[in-house]
Amino acid sequence: MTNLVKLYKGKEPVVKSFDIWEKFGYKEHSKLKRVINSNKSAFEEHGFLPLERQKPIKGSDGGRPDESYLLNESQFTLLVMLIKNTHESIELKQRIVKEFFRMRKTLANLASTRSSEEWQHVRKDGKAVYLQKADVIKKFVDYATAQGSKSANMYYSNLAQMENKALFLIEQKYPNVREVLNIKQLMQVATADQIVEKALGDGMEQKLHYKDIYQLAKDRVIQFSEILGKSMVIEMLETPRLNQDV
C-alpha cells in the first residue's frame, strides 16, 4: 500500500487533499478544498499552505488541471476537526495519523544517521567514486556523439536514473536521492557507479555501438541488483526546478 504521507521539499511530511477527499465522503475534490478555503487563516496559523498542480487522472479526458493542498500534520489535524466522521473516514484518519508518526520517526533516524561520522565518510567516498564515473561518462558522451548521437549529454542523468531504478524502490522524485540513502544503500550505489564506469570503459575499448554500451552497463547493474535485492527509499514529493546534485 502506497503511503499517503510524503515529504514536501525533502523536509516536511504532508498529505495531499486530492488523495483524501473521496474517502472523506466528498463527491468532488473542490468541496473538500472549500472547507479549507473557508478556514484558510486558521490553517495558515499552522504553517505555510502550499498548492500543488494535480495532473489529470490517467485515462481521463484531461481538462483544466486541478490543484491540491499539501497539509502538514497540524493542518491535517485541524481538517479532521472540521469534517464529519464516517466509518471509512475514521479508518483513513487513523491510517494517516500512523503514517505521520512513522515519517517523523524515519526523519529523526535519517537526521541521526546523516550526522554520524560513518555516514559522512561513506558519502564522501561515494562522491569520489561518482566523480571518477563522471570522467568516464564524459568520454562516453564524446564517443556517442561521434557515432551520431544527438542527445548524448542525457546519459549523465539516464545512467543515474537507471541505477536508482535498478537498486531502489522509489515512488517519488528526489532533489538528490543520495542524500536520503542509508549507509548500506550509499555503499551499494557507489558499487553500481563502479560497475557502470567499468562497463562504459569496456564497451568503448571493444568499439561497440554506444547504445550497446549503455545496455551493457544496464545489464551489469541489474545483475548486481538481483543479487542484493531492491530496498525502499523514503517517499518524497517532487520539488521542481531543483538541480540533481551528486
Computed over every residue of the chain, the mean pLDDT equals 88
Predicted pLDDT at 110: 79
pLDDT per residue over 165-217, tens digit each?
A: 999 987 666 678 898 898 999 999 999 999 999 999 999 999 999 999 999 99
Domain ranges of the chain: 5-113, 116-232
The neighbour count for residue 234, using CB atoms within 10 Å, is: 22
Instruction: Identify the burial level of 21 via C-beta atoms within 10 angstroms of its C-beta, where 0-12 means exposed, 13-18 middle and 19 or more buried.
Output: buried
Answer yes or no: pTM beyond 0.85. no
Closest CA to 21 of 66, 64, 58: 66
For residue 100, pLDDT beyond 50: yes
Predicted pLDDT at 121: 96
Predicted pLDDT at 11: 77
Predicted pLDDT at 85: 86
Predicted pLDDT at 207: 97
Predicted pLDDT at 113: 82
Q: Grid coordinates in use for 32?
A: 473538500
What does the alpha-carbon distance between residue 172 and residue 237 come to, in Å, rounded to a whole number? Answer: 6
Predicted pLDDT at 62: 56
For CA atoms 130, 131, 132, 136, the dihedral sign is positive
For 93, residues 6+ apart whose C-beta sits below 8 A from its C-beta are 80
What does the alpha-carbon distance between residue 168 and residue 162 come to, in Å, rounded to a whole number? Answer: 10
Q: What are phi and psi of 102, to 5 degrees?
A: -65, -40
For residue 246, pLDDT beyond 60: no
For residue 243, pLDDT beyond 50: no
pLDDT confidence tier of residue 107, bands split at 50, 70 and 90: confident
For residue 237, pLDDT beyond 60: no
Predicted pLDDT at 241: 34
pLDDT confidence tier of residue 2, bands split at 50, 70 and 90: confident
pLDDT per residue over 132-160, tens digit each?
A: 999 999 999 999 999 999 999 999 999 99
Average pLDDT of the segment spanning 102-115: 84
pLDDT per residue over 9-67, tens digit each?
A: 777 899 999 999 998 999 999 999 999 999 999 999 999 999 988 776 665 555 667 89
Predicted pLDDT at 112: 85
Q: What are phi and psi of 170, to 5 degrees?
A: -130, 125
